[in-house]
Amino acid sequence: QVQLVESGGGLVQAGGSLRLSCVASGRIRSINNMDWYRQAPGKERELVAGITYGGSTNYAYSVKGRFTISRDNAKNTVYLQMNSLKPEDTAVYYCNAEVRSVFTLGNYWGQGTQVTVSS
């Protein structure tokens, strides 16, 4: 079984920074794409940023230039550095990964970490 565990969320003032981490564990052979999503109250979950195994990245327009996604393949970890945070960035942030384990290829979610940006 594969598990994703996020950390690093919290309360920060507008203009501040946070760094989220997500560690994958279990019987992992390889991890393809790793993504960060977020869901604000009353809104649908949206893709924030994604990164391939080789390091190619993509970002939502709303976070370009402020957020940076990166990964450490040796540690099965993906990061999201969030700078110049705005109140509209407030949401629960979820990690998502496509993981190849010993027997299967599956898509997994973390439990989420709350990010709150005060004005």
Q: Please give the chain's pLDDT, 119 residues, in tens.
A: 899 999 999 999 999 999 999 999 999 999 999 999 999 999 999 999 999 999 999 999 999 999 999 999 999 999 999 999 999 999 999 999 999 988 899 999 999 999 999 99
HSE toward the beta carbon, residue 55, CA cutoff 13 A = 2
Distance CA 7, CA 85 (A): 17
Q: Strands, DSSP E only, in the chain? A: 2-7, 10-13, 18-26, 28-39, 46-51, 57-59, 67-72, 77-82, 91-101, 105-109, 113-118
DSSP-derived letter for residue 83 is: -
Q: Are strands 10-13 and 113-118 parallel, antiparallel or unpaired?
A: parallel
